């Protein structure tokens, strides 16, 4: 796998173009693991609010305040990092998120995160 100096677009990303260190950095964070888990379980684009709600419930704190904190964290940290890595796209106008890689590419990594 070699680094590619390009900005991800809306087309499917070739997993061979994503450097392993970037993938591992994405999977190093539990919230990003949850985002990818949620996206791999859905057939298409999902709303950022739905992801925030899923994470709030998974973290055992489904309050409005926690939901807002998670939403802010998604917009300012996690989604841009994952977009820059080439794993997803998100549209600020529609607040929707879509995977740019095949779900099967992510499954082995997600399996590793849940095996402990």
pLDDT band (50, 70, 90) for residue 23: confident
Q: Name residue, tokens 């926690």.
A: 66
Output the pLDDT for position 22: 87
Say if residues 66 and 56 touch (Cβ distance below 8 Å). Answer: yes
Instruction: Give the residues across from 90 on adjacent strands.
Output: 97
Cα 63 from Cα 58, distance rounded (Å): 12
Strands 46-47 and 88-91: unpaired
CATH architecture of residue range(s) 19-110: Orthogonal Bundle (1.10)
Q: Name residue, tokens 């994503």.
A: 18
CB atoms within 10 A of CB 56: 20
Angle of helix 48-58 relative to helix 30-40, nearest 10 degrees, comes to 120
Q: Is 111 exposed, middle or buried (0-12, 13-18, 19+ CB in 10 A)?
A: exposed
Write out pLDDT tens, residues 39-52.
999 999 999 999 99
- Could you give the 3-state DSSP secondary structure of residue 42? coil
Write out pLDDT tens, residues 56-115.
999 999 999 999 999 999 999 999 999 999 999 999 899 999 999 999 888 888 888 875
| Per-residue tokens: 25 | 């950095």
Residue 3 above 50 pLDDT?
no
Domains in the chain: boundaries: 19-110
Cα 100 from Cα 87, distance rounded (Å): 5
């Amino acid at each position: 796998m070699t680094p590619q100096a390009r900005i991800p677009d809306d087309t499917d990303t070739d997993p061979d173009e994503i450097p392993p260190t970037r993938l591992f950095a994405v999977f190093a964070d539990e919230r990003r693991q949850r985002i990818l888990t949620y996206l791999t379980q859905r057939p298409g684009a999902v709303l950022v609010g739905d992801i925030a709600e899923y994470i709030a419930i998974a973290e055992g704190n489904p309050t409005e305040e926690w939901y807002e904190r998670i939403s802010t964290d998604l917009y300012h940290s996690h989604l841009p990092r994952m977009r820059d890595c080439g794993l997803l796209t998100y549209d600020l106008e529609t607040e929707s998120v879509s995977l740019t890689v095949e779900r099967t590419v992510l499954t082995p990594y997600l399996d590793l995160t849940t095996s402990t």
